[in-house]
Amino acid sequence: MFIDALCNGLDNIPADPKVKAKIQKEYDEYGTHPLLDELKEKDFEYYNKIDRDNPMRIIRAIEVIRISGKPYSELRKAAPKERTFQIHKFVINHERSALYNRINRRVDSMIDAGLIDEVKAVQQHRNLSSLNTVGYKEVFSFLDDQISLEETIEKIKQNTRRYAKRQLTWFRRHKNAVWIDYQENKDMIRSILKELESNIKL
């Protein structure tokens, strides 16, 4: 979202805190299935694209549809805004097994650094959509005695790997992005600078 906003500008899409709060309450009580059913009925195009594991995007789409009476996908098709700067996109490309190993080690480090206690400290706010994220939601299940600590750690790793895979899929949409194989930082910087020197318009 932030990358698209920077590169393409923001669409003029309506928002209403009261409508959003009502939808959030529906989500808290019934989950995403009724909202997805509504999205399927009112905006089949966006329903086929949306990440169904991302309730924030589902809630936002329904909010816009209820406010405007129009499909969310229709309002998102505004022409990109003219930018006063050049855009060059670079994606660091990790070999899949190496990336997954890094993710697994990172999760272990987060647990060692006190993730469980961090989640305990905000447990009373668990219904906030901002806490419905990888890492927090699995620990909430652990604190509810639904899964063991070992299962919690494995689920965090698994869901983080899935999230990374979705990110890579998203970046592949950007046909003008340059993929840089992961290596030492200085070598990646050198590759990026070389690419810029050959393509930048003065």
**Where is 199: in which H helix or E strand?**
helix 185-199
The yes-or-no verdict on residue 180 having pLDDT over 80 is yes
Q: Please provide the CATH number assigned to the domain covering 2-75.
A: 1.10.20.140
Round to whole Å and give the CA distance between 109 and 192: 30
Round to whole Å and give the CA distance between 193 and 184: 14
pTM higher than 0.75, yes or no?
Answer: no
Of the candidates 76, 61, 67, the one whose C-alpha atom is nearest the C-alpha of residue 19 is 67
User: Mind listing the pLDDT tens digit for each residue in 116-171?
Assistant: 999 999 999 887 777 888 999 999 999 999 999 999 999 999 999 999 998 999 89
Of the candidates 122, 121, 115, 103, the one whose C-alpha atom is nearest the C-alpha of residue 162 is 103
Tell me the domain boundaries of the chain. Answer: 2-75, 90-199
pLDDT the model gives residue 78: 67
Greater model confidence, 202 or 87: 87
3-state secondary structure of 100: helix
CATH number 1.10.287.890 given to 90-199 = yes
